[in-house]
A and B are shown apart, each in its own frame.
Chain A
Amino acid sequence: MSFAKRLLRVASLTLSLGVVLLSASHAQEAGAPSEAVNIEAPAARAPTGEAKKEDPAAQPVQFTVALLEQIGSAKVAMDTMWTLIAGMLVFFMNLGFASVESGLCRAKNTVTILAKNFIVFAAASIAFLVIGWGLMFGDGNLLFGTQGLWFVGGADNSPATGDAYKGVYSSINWTGVPLWTKFFFQLVFAGTAATIVSGAVAERIKFGSFYIFSFLMVGLIYPVVGHWIWGGGWAAKLGMFDFAGSTVVHSVGGWAALTGAMVLGPRIGKYGKDGKVLPLPGHNIALATLGVFVLWFGWFGFNPGSTMAADAGAIGRIAVATNTAAAASAISASMTAWLLLRKPDLTMILNGALAGLVAITAPCAFVSIQSSLLIGLVAGVLVVLSVLFFDKIKIDDPVGAISVHLVCGIFGTLCVGLFAQDQFTPNTTGNGLLFGGGAGLLLAQLAGILGVGGFVFVASLVSWKILAATVGIRVSPEEELEGLDVGEHGNIAYPDFVSVTARGSSIVSASATPETSAAVAARELSKGAI
């Protein structure tokens, strides 16, 4: 076909689409007139020498059932596309987590950290498919779903919404996308919660134990909490709101990370005599930085995607709220680190950006951009202080996962109660405390936080304890000092490079006391037990 004819065909197609969409946007009544009017396909019309500009007002389009169905399915298609693409962005965050965690840990443990980050998504995919979805979104009681539990097999007529929905996953009938789209989007969130744990338990956990724990996490702990807040459970009934999961995803992961780090104990050589904190620097800050960029990028799927609709009014605003919080927290974290620690430690700045992202996750749809700025500023300060705090109380968190996800997850959830404004997502949260809505919302948020905290803390603690007593969760001291890559996997991450760091010694050593991390390691080893 000649270029001119091709151009003409494209022009006609575009103009016809324009006519349809313009008419659709003018449509007010839904009634279908008795006689059908054909919207001619452009192919049926013989192309003329020039493209005629059609005046929509001169050709009123009548709304037939066929046309409405066309428009309806176009909406479902757009909603589905957006939800799926957003879900793929969240999937991509797994790459970010893998990079951050391996970059902030030592080279001798690179393989095992990557293996954990990799397998956790596979385990999450299966666990959520088999039972997780059903427990979370199935109709049931205030605590967990009881219908449609297995393999997403319950009756369902998505994308029908609201009263038109006939199925057993009523709690998620508000979004007009098909069932598997809903599942895919929720799955990548479950995977995120599970992978948070791997950062805090890094460099000393047995791969097998983490493997098993991941199934427990996504098969049981996460979906139960998810049911409470998103699945129509007690927290939802109480009026708690968590738009994209500061509590459901991040603090759930954070609590499990905390108990894991507690039960495991600190890495050898991390804490010296009289409370000295010794550094175990990451081997690749470049990789860690790229990882945080990837996470920031992926969050543009995490937050705006949670509308699960191509809602033009909301998703751009939510994306900007997300970005504003991240930028603000990166800046406030850099300042806090600069003031408190003499120099702007990049690893703290990286944690800072993530802190804002986690904190804005719950409120992003309900708050103004100015509020997100404030939320981010506070989160950045909070995370730096929190990292220092956990080291003070001897809970060893190699990557700051607990500070980023648990502490800022709780903070972000509370922010809904403070900063929510009804105008942004009407008739949901109402106004928060700072906008004249009273303390009701804040109290509901608090109740949810406490309930979730109590449950996940206990459930994950029990899980770790059982695993510790049966298969063991911590590697031997010799293996820990050698590096887990060989011990757990028989792999070396960088076989072409000679590793300077053997037996815990490296370029660094503590200054105030003559004790080095290697000396601590030797002492611990000679004691014979960890």
Chain B
Amino acid sequence: MKIVEAIVKPFKLDEVKEALTKAGVQGMTVEEVKGFGRQKGHTELYRGAEYSVDFLPKVKIQILVPDDRAEKVVDVITRSAKTGKIGDGKIFVAPVEEVIRIRTGEKGEEAI
């Protein structure tokens, strides 16, 4: 099993969610996060004091998938989250040791 974590632009969330559910993904978790990548922000003024806008609001989506589905899910996310502009985000894929469904106690791929 793999956990796929995708950090995407907030306004892309609905599109990504629709694409994932169409692709057969049955659940996901979403967090509001802030982040930045290689590109530095620009400077602004607040009451005359200069600051740079580094951390930008993003959304992090977590999905658990069986190993054989990981590549497909990554592809779906990439296509639906992409704008072609700076700050589109990143996707991380990591192995997962165990999954448990709390209600029934099911484990492993049954619990996805």
Interface residues of A (CB under 8 A from B): 277-279, 281, 340-343, 345, 347-348, 387-388, 391, 400, 500, 507-512
Contacts and interface: CB of A to CB of B under 8 A. Distances in A.
B48 A387 contact: yes
Contact of B48 (A391, A508, A512): A391
Contacts of A343: 44-45
A383 to B, nearest CB: 11
Interface of B is mostly: strand
Contacts of B55: 507
25 contacts: A277-B50, A279-B45, A279-B47, A279-B49, A279-B50, A279-B51, A281-B46, A342-B45, A343-B44, A345-B45, A345-B46, A345-B47, A347-B47, A388-B48, A391-B47, A391-B48, A391-B49, A500-B34, A507-B34, A507-B53, A509-B51, A509-B54, A511-B43, A511-B50, A512-B50
Contacts of A509: 51-52, 54
A341 B52 contact: no
A278 B43 contact: no
B49 A278 contact: yes
B43 to A, nearest CB: 5
- Size band of the interface chain B makes with A: 10 to 19
B38 to A, nearest CB: 17
Contacts of B51: 278-279, 508-511
Nearest to B45: A341
A154 B43 CA distance: 62
The 6 closest A-B pairs by CB, nearest first: A511-B52, A279-B46, A279-B49, A508-B51, A277-B49, A511-B43
A288 B43 CA distance: 24
Given A391-B49, A509-B52, 19 more contacts: A278-B49, A278-B51, A279-B45, A279-B50, A279-B51, A281-B46, A341-B45, A345-B45, A388-B48, A500-B34, A507-B34, A507-B55, A508-B51, A508-B52, A508-B53, A508-B54, A509-B51, A510-B50, A512-B50
B29 to A, nearest CB: 15
A400 B49 CA distance: 14
Contacts of B45: 279, 341-343, 345
A426 to B, nearest CB: 43
Nearest to B32: A498
Contacts of B46: 279, 281, 345, 347, 508
Contacts of A348: 47
A387 B47 CA distance: 8
Nearest to B55: A507
A362 to B, nearest CB: 27
B47 A507 contact: no
Contact of A341 (B34, B48, B54): B48
Nearest to B46: A279
A278 B48 CA distance: 9
B17 to A, nearest CB: 22
Contacts of A281: 46
A508 B49 CA distance: 11
B51 to A, nearest CB: 4
Interface in B4-56: 34, 43-55
Nearest to B52: A511
B105 to A, nearest CB: 30
A289 B45 CA distance: 19
Contacts of B52: 508-511
A278 B46 CA distance: 9
Contacts of B34: 500, 507
Nearest to B33: A500
Nearest to B50: A511
A228 to B, nearest CB: 34
B87 to A, nearest CB: 15
Interface string B92-105: 00000000000000
A391 B54 CA distance: 24
Nearest to A500: B34
Contacts of B50: 277, 279, 510-512
Contacts of B44: 343
A516 B28 CA distance: 35
B35 to A, nearest CB: 11
B54 A507 contact: yes
Nearest to A343: B45
Contacts of B47: 279, 345, 347-348, 387, 391, 400
Contacts of A345: 45-47
Interface string B41-74: 0011111111111110000000000000000000
A145 to B, nearest CB: 41
Contacts of B43: 511
Nearest to A278: B49
Contacts of A507: 34, 53-55
B40 to A, nearest CB: 9
A277 B51 CA distance: 9
A158 B97 CA distance: 85
Nearest to A384: B48
A255 B50 CA distance: 28
Contacts of A512: 50
Contacts of B53: 507-508
Contacts of A341: 45, 48
Given A500-B34, A507-B34, A277 B48 contact: yes
Contacts of A279: 45-47, 49-51
A376 B43 CA distance: 31
B48 to A, nearest CB: 5
A509 B48 CA distance: 14
A419 B47 CA distance: 31
Nearest to A399: B47
A279 B43 CA distance: 12
A508 B46 CA distance: 10
A263 B1 CA distance: 61
A508 B48 CA distance: 14
